[in-house]
Homo-oligomer: A and B are copies of this chain.
Amino acid sequence: MNKNSSNIMALAPNTSNKRETVCIFGTGDFGRALGHKMIQSGYPVVFGSRSTQTSSLIPKDAEVLSHAEAAQKAAIIIIAIQREHYDFLIPLAEILHGKVLVDVSNNLKINQYPESNAEYLAQLVPGAKVVKAFNTVSAWALQSGTVDASRQVFVCGDNMEAKQMVMDIVRALGLTPLDQGSLLAAQEIENYPLQLFPMWKFPILLSLGLAAFFFVYSLIRDVIYPYVYENKDFSFFIAISIPNRICPVVALILLALVYLPGVLAAIIQLYRGTKYCRFPDWLDKWMLCRKQLGLVALAFASLHVLYTLVIPIRSFVRWRISSRILSQALKNVTEPLNTTHAWLSDSYLALGILGFFLFVLLGITSLPSVSNNVNWREFRFVQSKLGYLTLILCTAHTLVYGGNRFLSPSSYRWYLPNAYMLSLIVPCIVLVVKFVLIFPCLDKPLSQIRQGWERNPQYSE
């Protein structure tokens, strides 16, 4: 159901009031925001507070009582208090016996405490049914109604019925509960909102590093060299020409790095003769961020496509073409069509188009909603078969683009080869090794190993 309707719903006061009373311990920002939202959704709310003096900040329709009194009025008590103050619940243990306690707390650092806040709460009040929930939504989101991102509320707890009661409240608030199992999942749920794209850090840093290196490299070759030797000012290359050199180079290297760990893993398994031995840690981490590497590569490839397609609109390119035509007109020469040249130009463009097309297809299948709709066999087909085809097409695109310039001395300025030549190293290694691994003499033992067979059982001991 879309946001809108649930928001309208939430604000509609014409619901007959048969919701159960909910108690909230703590009148801080999050407690108040949650209270507001619950009252809007038709729940009678009672606040438990040290000072029972009604503050103007507390929602008007809510009662404010002492902790003990408030707890007695409701079956569900939301603990909107920081972990450091949980101690005050110990004297209330008797009143809280059998009640559902909802831990909504977050920490400041990942794995700040040895056990999760919810498990700590369960230890302090052993008679209560502790449920972890609501920690992934912010007070600001609840207040402002801008819940585009965080409609998901992770819920976990050991008591099934308590969990169901909390999940019903979550639904009534227009949010989506996600059952995460027993209270053991609380640590993970508490760490979740503290993350900032953890899997993307390495791919993005790597690509930025590569981009910076190739920027300096291309600047030397394409701007400084002509300025020094020919005294020409090509500084405007910084805007489009140089980025359009960096992007394809970085994209191709990153794409090859997506497939390199798989090839390395195969070599390690062949060498060890077993799959039951852990890979080195760096390889494990590398394998886990392959999807992100691939998507960053796709981003660079898309930029390359855009930069390439605007070429004919560029003022510099128009000037170059017209000055070429004019020089021919002045000399009264008409060049005939160079068929080889036409072949080369058309085929590297065609290879690039097909490679990019498959790359976008891979990107689309990595969207969560699409990849959830394919089974393991289909996923392997797309990511492995189509992935290698993409790599082959993109490598061929670069090779044909370079064409016969590899051996021409004019493409080496200050002994620096063209950037695209450097970019071919990793993909070519990956493709050659993969090609070798396809030979039956290597493919057969590898398949056996991956099905659980062991050559040297002593390895895994």
Given contacts A138-B376, A377-B196, contact A16 B119 (CB under 8 A): yes
Residue from B56, B139, B265, B357 in contact with A461 in the complex, judged by beta carbons closer than 8 Å: B56
A233 interface hit (Cβ, 8 Å): yes
A418 interface hit (Cβ, 8 Å): no
Chain A interface, DSSP helix/strand/loop, else mixed? helix
Residue from B188, B356, B378 in contact with A6 in the complex, judged by beta carbons closer than 8 Å: B188
B18 touches A184 (CB 8 A): yes
Given contacts A180-B171, A367-B369, contact A240 B350 (CB under 8 A): yes
Q: Which of A29, A189, A338 has the most CB of B within 10 A?
A: A29
Residue from B152, B194, B233, B235 in contact with A377 in the complex, judged by beta carbons closer than 8 Å: B194
A194 closest partner in B (C-beta) = B377
B346 touches A316 (CB 8 A): yes
Encoded as 1 (CB less than 8 Å from any B CB) or 0, chain A from 145 to 157 comes to 1101111101000
Which residues on the B side are within 8 Å of A370 (C-beta)?
367-369
B379 touches A149 (CB 8 A): yes
B7 touches A288 (CB 8 A): yes
Encoded as 1 (CB less than 8 Å from any B CB) or 0, chain A from 337 to 353 comes to 11101111111011001
B288 touches A316 (CB 8 A): no
A287 interface hit (Cβ, 8 Å): yes
Encoded as 1 (CB less than 8 Å from any B CB) or 0, chain A from 450 to 461 comes to 111010011011
A443 interface hit (Cβ, 8 Å): no
Inter-chain CA distance A338–B143, complex, in Å, is 55
Which residues on the B side are within 8 Å of A299 (C-beta)?
357, 361
Residue from B3, B144, B195 in contact with A375 in the complex, judged by beta carbons closer than 8 Å: B195
A180 closest partner in B (C-beta) = B171
Which residues on the B side are within 8 Å of A235 (C-beta)?
339, 343
Inter-chain CA distance A35–B461, complex, in Å, is 17
B377 touches A154 (CB 8 A): no
A187 interface hit (Cβ, 8 Å): yes
A164 interface hit (Cβ, 8 Å): yes
B291 touches A148 (CB 8 A): yes
Encoded as 1 (CB less than 8 Å from any B CB) or 0, chain A from 304 to 326 comes to 01111111111110110111111
B349 touches A193 (CB 8 A): no
A353 touches B310 (CB 8 A): yes
Which residues on the B side are within 8 Å of A97 (C-beta)?
none
B315 touches A457 (CB 8 A): no
B291 touches A316 (CB 8 A): no
Encoded as 1 (CB less than 8 Å from any B CB) or 0, chain A from 1 to 45 comes to 111111111001011101100000000110010000000001000
A346 closest partner in B (C-beta) = B239
A2 touches B319 (CB 8 A): no
Residue from B180, B316, B378 in contact with A337 in the complex, judged by beta carbons closer than 8 Å: B316
A371 closest partner in B (C-beta) = B149
A440 interface hit (Cβ, 8 Å): no
B184 touches A15 (CB 8 A): yes
Select the stretch in A71-79, A327-335, A427-435 that faces chain B.
A327-335
How many Å from the CB of A344 to the closest CB on chain B?
A: 8
New A-B contacts (8) at CB < 8 Å, excluding given A4-B195, A143-B275? A1-B192, A3-B199, A14-B114, A149-B380, A193-B376, A303-B357, A312-B313, A314-B349
List the 9 shortest-distance A-B pairs measured between CB atoms, nearest first: A149-B379, A29-B452, A369-B369, A315-B345, A171-B181, A239-B346, A312-B312, A9-B188, A368-B369
20 A-B residue contacts at CB 8 Å? A2-B195, A5-B191, A6-B188, A9-B188, A14-B114, A139-B452, A141-B376, A143-B275, A148-B383, A149-B374, A149-B378, A172-B184, A193-B375, A237-B346, A239-B347, A240-B350, A299-B357, A319-B335, A329-B330, A368-B370
